[in-house]
Amino acid sequence: MKAIIGGTGVDTLDGYSLQPKQVITDYGKVEVFLGAGRYETLVFLPRHGSQHSLPPHMINYRANVAALRQLGVEEAIGIYAVGSISAKLEPGCIGLVSDFIDLSGGSRANTFFTGGEHQVVHVAMDEVFDQTLQQRLLHLDPSLVDAGVYACTNGPRLETKAEIRYLASLGCDIVGMTLATEVSLLREAGTKTAALAYSINWAVGIQHAVAFIDDAQIARLKDRMTHLCLDALLNSSR
């Protein structure tokens, strides 16, 4: 099984034959959407819920990843809306995330390995993303840029100018609120993972004002990313 994990702007996969399913995990219930016909090996998971009702700091990341694991998902591509700190990924562009720094504050349940019967395991993060899956995406779309390092904040508020200056000094290129928690759990679950980021604005203080790209542009990016994910996950023999 293969999964697309969607976020802001990608809460649905319109035009595809998908059926909702409730998955019961040890961490809670999760609504996913399962493909049929030529998409029978596809799982779509909207991380914020299909109505975008969950803010980033309240997403049940463990339940989401546990649900994918129970469904037998071996490869997953996450789609992340971000703000741009450096020029590596400018607003309106799509790229592959190379690494992350987690500054979400530690208040989230971000590991399956909580000791006792759940063990204590230290998962290596020297290769955060699966290189074969990343190269497959690049082969399908050579225009994808290197989005660089993703800074993960807690949210739901946006960052201050001082915080963005701090993130820039750490070498961060983009900023968002979900990737670090999600990807860490996917790594613990043994799921091969790639991360597509698309920028919807310059972070505060980088330009004169925070201006978001318009809905029509987001819709075009969503369509492009959806087709790319489907091709990379379902039309490959690897």
Q: Is the pLDDT of residue 88 over 90?
A: yes
Q: Is the pLDDT of residue 237 over 70?
A: no
Quote the CA–CA distance of 71 and 3 in Å, as a whole number: 10
Looking at residue 238, its pLDDT comes to 45
Q: What percent of the chain has pLDDT over 70?
A: 99
CATH for 2-234 is 3.40.50.1580
pTM, two decimals, is 0.95
Q: What mean pLDDT value characterizes the chain?
A: 94
For the segment 18-67, what is each residue's pLDDT rounded down to a tens digit?
Answer: 999 999 999 999 999 999 988 999 999 999 998 889 999 999 999 999 99
For the segment 158-180, what is each residue's pLDDT rounded down to a tens digit?
Answer: 999 999 999 999 999 999 999 99
List the domain boundaries for the chain.
2-234
Looking at residue 203, its pLDDT comes to 97
What DSSP letter does each residue of 89-115 carry, written as one string? Answer: S-TT-EEEEEEEEEES-S-S---S--S
